[in-house]
Structure 1
Amino acid sequence: MTENTDQQKKLPAAVEGFVMHWGNLGSQWGVNRSVAQIHALLYLSEKPITAEEIAETLGIARSNVSNSLRELTGWNLIRRVPVFGDRRDHFVAETDLWEMATRIAAGRKEREIDPAIAALRACAAEAEEDPAVGAVARRRLGAMLDFTQTMEGWYAQMLHVPHGTLAKLIKLGSRIVRFLPAKPEG
């Protein structure tokens, strides 16, 4: 957010703090600060908000708001909703945290993990065919590919676990280990 102007709406301190913090976190996660701030504002909003209201509240350019709304819509984190008697587009955020996390994970997987696996497969296959690639490099490429594919498989399985069950699993933390068969000492 930029500094307050006469035209900028004043947010409650807790809301402004969250919007600012979420914007900072977003930039650390590789998300444009304005995108993250808009998401935070919509997430805390009790009613649908127009792009104009977002621009006015956050003190950012209307064009930046439009681009950010398009990005958030692409991530399926917000949606347009009609408001009776108003022809303007209004926006609301997904407020179910599990759904939000699932959508973000799916988007990141598609943009980051899937290309990484494709590249690792290609590199590992090329390394197997190239006698100039040493055994250590081939083994490490294979290990990285195996690890990444294992994590992708785990992610795919977790998508089908009901949110309530997944929450219980997460809360168990390392205590889940006691339910696994003992590994023989060797």
Structure 2
Amino acid sequence: MNLSPLNERFVLHFGEMGSRWGVNRTVGQIYAVLFLSPEPMNADQIVDALGISRSNVSMGLKELQSWRLVKLIHQAGDRRDYFETPKDVWEIFRTLAEEKRKREIEPTLTLLRDALMETPLDEAERHAQQRMREMHQLIELATGWFDEVQRLSPDTLENLMRLGARVQKVLEFASFLRPGKDGKD
């Protein structure tokens, strides 16, 4: 398979972005090739498309499987393993967000919970613990909101995202309508 100039730019960009997203360049490129492919691909096809070693492809596919960003597919009459990305971009977004949370947010929350359980030794530790408490509350609030957003249908989520800053106007109006409220929380 030869990559067209358009596909090659996309694949190279995903390779560059991979390192910023916590995976190496090769993993980003493998994902991009699979994402663009109309059919599941086997490792040999990925090797041919990217010009990288079979071992790099195998390791990259394992990493993408651990992120749940590629699925293993079997084809009748063929003993090779084939791989594809989920077709629905919203499913990809949700999976990526869940994995990032599991790998980055949850360990931070665990550290903060443990730190907040300790008895501060002095004023500096009390101050530090208060700052950690504020961070913990913010992360808990954000993850709670994210949990609710994750349960929305893709259509509802898309509409919410399209609203953008206009959501603030809806919230201000709703606050205005509540009896006994001056519009401030």
The normalised TM-score by structure 1 is 0.89
* 1:102-141 pair list within 5 angstroms: 102-126=94-118, 129-134=119-124, 135-141=126-132
Residue aligning to 1:37: 29
Q: Determine the structure 1 residue equivalent to 2:138.
A: 147
Identify the match of residue 169 of structure 1 among 145, 160, 171: 160
Q: What is aligned with 1:3?
A: none
Give the aligned partner of residue 5 of structure 1: none
Q: Determine the structure 2 residue equivalent to 1:84.
A: 76
**Distance (Å, rounded) in 2 between the aligned partners of 1:132 and 1:39:** 50
Q: Deviations over 1:85-142 (max 9, x none)?
A: 322111111121100010011111111101100101111222xx12314343232111
* CA RMSD between the two structures: 1.6
Indicate the larger mover: 117-126 or 168-177: 117-126
CA drift of 1:75 comes to 1.4
How many residues are paired up?
176
2: CA distance, partners of 1:123 / 1:72 = 33
Q: Which runs of 5+ in 1 are unaligned?
A: 1-8
Which 4+ runs in 1 deviate beyond 6 A? none
Secondary structure of the residue aligned to 2:79 is strand
Deviates more, 1:27-36 or 1:96-105: 27-36
Provide the rounded CA distance (Å) in 1 between the counterparts of 2:184 and 2:43.
62
* Cα distance, 1:185–1:130 mapped onto 2, change above 3 Å: closer
Letter in 1 for 2:152: V
Structure 1 residue matching 2:164: 3-state secondary structure: helix
What amino acid is aligned across from residue 57 of structure 2 in structure 1? V
| Identical counterparts, % of pairs | 37
Distance in 1 between the 2:3 and 2:128 partners? 55
- The aligned residue for residue 50 of structure 1 is 42
**Structure 1 residue aligned with 2:7, among 5, 11, 15?**
15
C-alpha distance in structure 2 between counterparts of 1:151 and 1:85, whole Å: 48
Taking CA–CA contacts closer than 8 Å with sequence separation of 6 or more, which of the two structures ends up with the larger relative contact order? 1
Take 2:123 and 2:56, find their aligned partners in 1: how far apart are those partners? 48
When structure 1 is superposed on structure 2, of 131-140 and 91-100 the one drifting more is 131-140
What is the TM-score when the length of structure 2 is the normalising length?
0.89
